[in-house]
Amino acid sequence: MVNEMESKISDAEWEVMRVVWAQDKVTSKEIIDVLQQKKDWKPATTKTFIGRLVKKGILHTEEEGRKFLYSSAVNESDFINSTLDETFEHICSKDVGNAIVNLLSNATLSFKDIDKIEKVIEMKKKEAVEEIPCNCVPGQCRCNNCSSGH
């Protein structure tokens, strides 16, 4: 699983990772070529981001002749899930449901996506509770039931 250090990447590093995940093994030139279609980065800028990702242990490097091939050290789906889990850990547990509602409201979904979501919701109904307890320390949130004295 992805550890906390690995999950902290910049927006620019996300752009690089999306290319690597899509290509499996890729050269820096191939990453540069793809991102030049989207960003106005100089090759050195892209190489800087690649270097940071290698240093963080998110990209593997292997030498093939005179060039380097980059591949992901982390599975894309696991990485995204870890990032979402980490985000939910940073908000009041009473707000997680609202955050999920906002994600769904803002997402473009296929009928297949909606079917999957409906199945998960049906399963979640079986373990639902009347009220989610606040998990914040006093003074860390604004919920009405928080013991922070708000």
**Residue 2 — pLDDT band, cuts 50, 70, 90?**
very low
CA distance 107 to 123: 22
**Residue 1 — pLDDT band, cuts 50, 70, 90?**
very low
What's the confidence (pLDDT) of residue 7? Answer: 56
With a cut of 60, say whether residue 5 has pLDDT above it: no
Q: Count Cβ atoms within 10 A of the Cβ of residue 91 and give its class: 0-12 exposed, 13-18 middle, 19 or more buried.
A: middle
Q: Tokens 């009405």 label which residue? A: 144
**Residue 145 — pLDDT band, cuts 50, 70, 90?**
low
How many CB atoms sit inside 10 A of residue 96's CB? 15
Quick one: tokens of 12? 């620019």
pLDDT per position as a tens digit, 21-67: 999 899 999 999 999 989 989 999 999 999 999 999 999 999 988 89
pLDDT per position as a tens digit, 97-139: 999 999 999 999 999 999 999 999 999 999 999 999 998 988 8
With a cut of 80, say whether residue 74 has pLDDT above it: yes
Burial per residue of 22-55, b for 16 or more beta-carbon CB atoms within 10 angstroms, e otherwise: ebeebebebbbebbeeeeebeeeebbebbebbee
How many CB atoms sit inside 10 A of residue 9's CB? 18
What's the confidence (pLDDT) of residue 143? Answer: 75
Alpha helices (H) along 24-110: 28-38, 43-55, 76-89, 96-106
